[in-house]
Amino acid sequence: MADVIQYGPARLLPGEQIAITTNPDTEPFWQAAKEHRLTACQCAKCRHFRMPPTAYCPECSSRDKNWPVLPGTATVFSYAICNKNPKTGGDFIYVPVVVDLDGAPGARLNANVTGCDAEDVRIGMKVTVEWTAIQDGWVLPNFRAASPGA
Ligand SMILES: [Zn+2]
């Protein structure tokens, strides 16, 4: 059996390295994040969730949107372990994840996960939202392992 690589603590990419752009379809998500509320774009007509937010519902073409406040918990759908800071090129262990958002069936979000060692991240792992200040006063949802080392 091969040895398991020990990467050590999963870090979050530094917020000062992260900039976003918004548009009228995505801005409500980011405005809610500024207030530490996790939301997802939901069609106001057929209730289908879609992320990232787009102008029209892919199911029924409605332009009407709801932005329900979600519990802030999620489940890791997929992940990768990275060992270089993409901005500086220096050694830096972080784990980009795609998570399924609780309370928003079908809605997924890209983020980083922290609160455990990188090698302990698993598909199906429960995580909770953690807020990271980024450039221009925006706030990015990241996620923390619900039970460290689990
Ligand atoms: Zn719809």
- According to the model, what pLDDT value does residue 143 have? 98
Number of domain units in the chain: 1
Say what percent of the chain tops pLDDT 70.
96
Torsion of CA 90, 129, 124, 105, to 10 degrees: -130
Q: How confident is the model at residue 78 (pLDDT cuts 50, 70, 90)?
A: very high
Q: Is 16 a member of any domain?
A: no
Q: Is 114 a member of any domain?
A: yes
Say what percent of the chain tops pLDDT 90.
93
Q: Can you tell me the mean pLDDT for 8-35?
A: 97
- Please list, in sequence order, all residues whose beta carbon lies within 8 angstroms of the beta carbon of residue 91, skipping any fewer than 6 positions away: 83, 84, 85
Task: Compute, in angstroms, the gap from residue 120 CA to the centroid of ligand 1.
Answer: 38
Task: Compute, in angstroms, the gap from residue 48 CA to the centroid of ligand 1.
Answer: 5
**What domain range includes position 88?**
22-145
Task: Compute, in angstroms, the gap from residue 114 CA to the centroid of ligand 1.
Answer: 34
Q: Is 44 a member of any domain?
A: yes
pTM equals 0.92
- According to the model, what pLDDT value does residue 6 have? 92
